């Protein structure tokens, strides 16, 4: 049965009324649910987050306190140095007046420091890193001043059986710092509550500096924040629901008030739809005939287009000139760029062509004006790979709009081959020049000691020589022979390195003993030249065993210290090591002549160093630093230099190893 306009109007108004009632019911249900049960569910997970955020703020606070104490100690040390005017030959400050005064002043200051909420700072001095009953000595503790001077044991526990001192020792050995929780008496109270502490190892004085906060107030802080958030949430819910309710009331009132008018409007539109439906049916009948004719023509055009464009093995693109977007592509373009057909349609040329928008517009305008139709561009594929391409473009008109028909050829391999040929040519020329310079310099370096040996050997034949002169000539011959032997050894070493004959021989050895040996070997020479020689060994001998190639490590350090002595007219030389996570960083610092910044990138290069050093009035082949770099890289490390002219040089190198 066909429905009349009045029936349709009644059905529409009935549906609108039912929908309005349903919306009102859902609003009331949502209001009751949100108001009475919403806040509890919203804030169930927030309590944990608030607790975590509160504890994190306490962590940040106590960590900043410890860092502030360490900065005060370093500032106090600088003040004391200026006051005492320490003698420069003092190697260690452990038992000096400086250390004694520094400890005394800093401990007194820490003892008097009172933090927020009656907090305090305590200091323990590490005695035994292995732990035990005497692992540390209590220096300062404001909460338990009677324990100052007592020995601490890692076996001590709190009321819950935790081992705070063992945990503290493990943390500073592993990371040098730690946060940990335990139960402890509150200051000026007998209450035992949970405490959060932060401790940091200050290696220079062998101190553990720590402070902490009690966690008995965390729940109160969290509950206060939750109450405030809950009240704000409820106020927002009430306001929102009030606004929504007002809007619903307004909708119901409007619907009732304008019901009669809505009935007339809906009836008018239904009559209008019926008239237009009849006109549309007549129009569709005529349109079907036209579509059938056009469809046949389109099939013929598509067959021709597919054979010329779609099936071609060359990459082809059809680009809208105004928007610079891809309108159509062939399968070869999909295979080349790596995007799907759907992804490339509508894609901006800027996503493919890495040139600037200005250059792309200039190219399009050039094709439009029939000026240039051939271009070299860089195109980016879907995997972010950049390819060099040559592009042939032609302007065509489609549907009254300008388009570009572009053919793309990949010339990346051609460009790469050309670039490799240029690099190979330059490298060969540079290698030939450097090796020629190296051979010329080696010839000069070898002739110099040889001339000394031959010349003074002939002088020894003179019968009128005094015994003192004879001994002096013999010393010169001996020195020239050793110089010549060093040159030959450097040439042999660099030859072995070039031919990959050098292998690492890893063994376990004590790094402090190697540092001591190098120090004693060069100490006399440094004193003779008026130089101050220092070495630094931060690890105790019992913990200074490492696994690496001892001979090559010894060779690198020896070469760097020897160079420092050679190029330091006056001042001091310091060498040693420091622990950096799983690496050991060695360093050799001097106050010598320094290295020009422009030369710092070349001093470790093979052959080039010999060329650069040929103009300096120093002995040696100039291959020492190249050998050092090769040995360090063989051990899996890196080497670098920081230097300023007339200020001095700082050589660093690292090797990966595990300290036992």
Q: Is the distance from CB of 143 to CB of 110 less than 8 angstroms? A: no
Q: Are residues 170 and 226 in the same domain?
A: no
Question: How many other β-carbons are positioned within 10 Å of the β-carbon of residue 353?
Answer: 20
Q: Are residues 234 and 370 in the same domain?
A: no
Q: What is the pLDDT of residues 475-489, one digit of tens each?
A: 777 766 766 676 676
Q: Are residues 294 and 396 in the same domain?
A: no
Q: Are residues 119 and 236 in the same domain?
A: no
User: Alpha helices of 175-258 — where are they, by DSSP H?
Assistant: 218-257
pLDDT band at residue 499, thresholds of 50, 70 and 90? low
Residue 586 is classified by DSSP as E
Q: Are residues 527 and 592 in the same domain?
A: yes
Is residue 37 a part of any domain in this protein? yes
**Three-state secondary structure along 250-314?**
HHHHHHHHCHHHHHHHHHHHHHHHHHHHHHHHHHHHHHHHHHHHHHHHHHHHHHHHHHHHHCCCC
Q: Are residues 158 and 286 in the same domain?
A: no
Rounded Cα gap, residues 81 and 93, in angstroms: 11
Higher pLDDT, 60 or 454: 60
Is residue 451 a part of any domain in this protein? no
Examine the pLDDT at 536 and tell me if it is beyond 90.
Answer: yes
Is residue 437 a part of any domain in this protein? no
What would the mean pLDDT of 191-196 be, rounded to a whole number? Answer: 86
Could you give the C-alpha distances from 326 to 130, 382, 528, in angstroms and in order? 71, 15, 79
Is residue 420 a part of any domain in this protein? no
Could you give the C-alpha distances from 506 to 212, 547, 656, in angstroms and in order? 45, 6, 12
Query: Position of tokens 């031959």?
Result: 454
Q: Are residues 321 and 300 in the same domain?
A: no
Q: Which of 535, 551, 537 is nearest to 627 (CA)?
A: 551
Is residue 450 a part of any domain in this protein? no
Is residue 460 a part of any domain in this protein? no
Is residue 611 a part of any domain in this protein? yes
Q: Is the distance from CB of 157 to CB of 168 less than 8 angstroms? A: no
Dihedral sign of CA atoms 142, 148, 154, 155 in order: negative
Q: Are residues 135 and 164 in the same domain?
A: yes
Rounded Cα gap, residues 441 and 616, in angstroms: 11
Query: Position of tokens 């630093």?
Result: 625
**Final residue of a structural domain among 281, 311, 341:** 311
pLDDT band at residue 653, thresholds of 50, 70 and 90? very high
Q: What is the pLDDT of residue 560?
A: 94
Q: Are residues 10 and 74 in the same domain?
A: no
**Max avg pLDDT among 439-448, 509-518, 574-583:** 509-518
How far from the centroid of its chain's Cα atoms is residue 223's Cα? 39
Query: CA angle at residue 408 from 406 to 412, to 5 degrees?
Result: 155
Higher pLDDT, 400 or 30: 400
Examine the pLDDT at 279 and tell me if it is beyond 70.
Answer: yes
Q: Is the distance from CB of 214 to CB of 194 less than 8 angstroms? A: yes
On the CB side of 324, CA atoms within 13 Å amount to 16
**Final residue of a structural domain among 190, 216, 242:** 216
Whole-number percent of the chain with pLDDT over 70:
80
In DSSP terms, 202 is beta-bridged to 207
Q: Which of 423, 405, 399, 391 is nearest to 309 (CA)?
A: 405
Q: What is the CATH number of the domain that holds 574?
A: 3.30.565.10
Q: Is the distance from CB of 319 to CB of 326 less than 8 angstroms? A: yes
Examine the pLDDT at 542 and tell me if it is beyond 50.
Answer: yes
Specify the DSSP element, H or E, that contains 158.
Answer: none
Is residue 582 a part of any domain in this protein? yes
The count of domains in the chain is 5
Specify the DSSP element, H or E, that contains 576.
Answer: strand 571-580
Contacts of 404 (CB under 8 A, 6+ apart): 317, 318, 319, 321, 364, 367, 393, 394, 395, 396
Q: Are residues 555 and 637 in the same domain?
A: yes
Q: Are residues 171 and 243 in the same domain?
A: no
Higher pLDDT, 581 or 164: 164
User: Alpha helices of 355-466 — where are they, by DSSP H?
Assistant: 357-368, 412-460
Name which of 505-514, 522-531, 541-550, 621-630 the model is least confident about: 621-630
Q: What is the pLDDT of residue 270?
A: 74
Examine the pLDDT at 92 and tell me if it is beyond 60.
Answer: no
pLDDT band at residue 568, thresholds of 50, 70 and 90? very high
Q: Which two tokens stand for residue 480?
A: 């020239």
Q: Are residues 596 and 638 in the same domain?
A: yes
Q: What is the pLDDT of residue 588?
A: 96
Higher pLDDT, 147 or 245: 147
Q: What is the CATH number of the domain that holds 339?
A: 3.30.450.20
Examine the pLDDT at 627 and tell me if it is beyond 90.
Answer: no
Range of the domain at 289: 273-311
Examine the pLDDT at 89 and tell me if it is beyond 70.
Answer: no
At residue 103, the 3 state secondary structure works out as helix
pLDDT band at residue 239, thresholds of 50, 70 and 90? confident
Examine the pLDDT at 278 and tell me if it is beyond 80.
Answer: no
């Amino acid at each position: 049965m066909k429905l009349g306009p009045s029936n349709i109007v009644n059905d529409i108004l009935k549906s609108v009324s039912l929908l309005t009632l349903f919306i009102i019911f859902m609003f009331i249900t949502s209001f009751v649910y949100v108001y009475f049960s919403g806040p509890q569910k919203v804030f169930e997970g927030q309590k944990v987050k608030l607790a975590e955020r509160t504890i994190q703020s306490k962590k940040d606070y106590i960590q900043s306190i410890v860092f502030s104490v360490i900065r005060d100690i370093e500032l106090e040390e600088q003040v004391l140095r200026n006051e005492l005017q320490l003698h420069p030959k003092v190697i260690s400050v452990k038992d000096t007046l400086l250390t004694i005064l520094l400890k005394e002043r800093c401990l007194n200051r820490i003892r008097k420091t009172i933090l927020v909420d009656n907090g305090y700072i305590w200091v323990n001095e590490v005695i035994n890193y292995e732990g035990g009953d005497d692992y540390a000595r209590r220096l300062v503790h404001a909460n338990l001043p009677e324990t100052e001077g007592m020995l601490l044991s890692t076996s001590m526990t709190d009321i819950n059986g935790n081992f705070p001192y063992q945990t503290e020792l493990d943390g500073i050995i592993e990371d040098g710092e730690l946060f940990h929780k335990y139960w402890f008496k509150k200051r000026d109270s007998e209450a035992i509550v949970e405490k959060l502490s932060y401790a940091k190892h200050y290696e220079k004085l062998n101190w553990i500096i720590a402070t902490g906060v009690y966690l008995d107030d965390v729940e109160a802080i969290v509950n206060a924040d939750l109450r405030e958030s809950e009240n704000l949430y409820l106020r927002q819910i009430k306001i929102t629901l009030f606004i929504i309710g007002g809007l619903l009331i307004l909708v119901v009132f409007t619907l009732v008030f304008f019901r009669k008018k809505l009935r007339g409007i809906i009836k008018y539109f239904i009559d209008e739809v019926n008239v237009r439906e009849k006109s549309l049916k007549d129009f569709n009948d005529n349109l079907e005939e036209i579509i059938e004719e056009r469809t046949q023509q389109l099939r013929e055009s598509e067959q021709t287009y597919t054979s010329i464009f779609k099936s071609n093995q060359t990459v082809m693109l059809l680009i809208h000139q105004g928007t610079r977007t891809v309108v159509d592509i062939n399968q070869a373009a999909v295979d080349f760029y790596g995007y799907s057909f759907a992804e490339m349609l509508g894609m901006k040329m800027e996503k493919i062509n890495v040139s600037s928008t200005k250059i792309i517009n200039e190219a399009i305008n050039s094709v439009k004006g029939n000026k240039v139709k051939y271009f070299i561009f860089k195109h980016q594929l879907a995997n972010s790979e950049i390819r060099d391409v040559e592009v042939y473009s032609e302007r065509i008109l489609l549907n009254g709009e300008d388009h570009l028909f572009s053919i793309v050829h990949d010339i990346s391999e051609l460009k790469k081959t050309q670039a490799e040929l240029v690099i190979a040519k330059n490298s060969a020329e540079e290698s030939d020049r450097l090796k020629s310079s190296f051979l010329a310099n080696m010839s000069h370096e070898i002739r110099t000691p040889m001339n000394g040996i031959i010349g003074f050997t002939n002088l020894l034949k003179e019968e009128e020589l005094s015994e003192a002169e004879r001994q002096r000539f013999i010393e010169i011959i001996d020195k020239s022979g050793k110089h010549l032997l060093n040159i030959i050894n450097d040439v042999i070493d660099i030859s072995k390195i070039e031919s990959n004959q050098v292998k690492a021989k890893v063994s376990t050895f004590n790094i402090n003993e190697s540092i001591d040996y190098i120090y004693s070997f060069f100490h006399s020479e440094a004193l003779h030249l008026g130089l101050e020689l220092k070495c630094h060994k931060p690890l105790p001998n019992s913990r200074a065993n490492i696994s690496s190639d001892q001979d090559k490590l010894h060779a690198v350090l020896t070469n760097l210290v020897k160079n420092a002595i050679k190029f330091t007219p006056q001042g001091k030389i310091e060498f040693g090591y420091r622990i950096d996570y799983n690496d050991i960083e060695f360093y050799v610092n001097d106050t010598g002549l320094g290295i020009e910044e422009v030369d710092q990138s070349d001093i470790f290069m093979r052959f080039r160093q010999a060329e650069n050093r040929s103009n300096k009035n120093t002995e040696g082949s100039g291959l020492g630093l190249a050998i050092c770099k090769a040995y360090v890289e063989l051990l899996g490390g890196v080497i670098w230099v920081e230097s300023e002219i007339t200020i001095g040089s700082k050589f660093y190198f690292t090797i990966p190893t595990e300290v036992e």
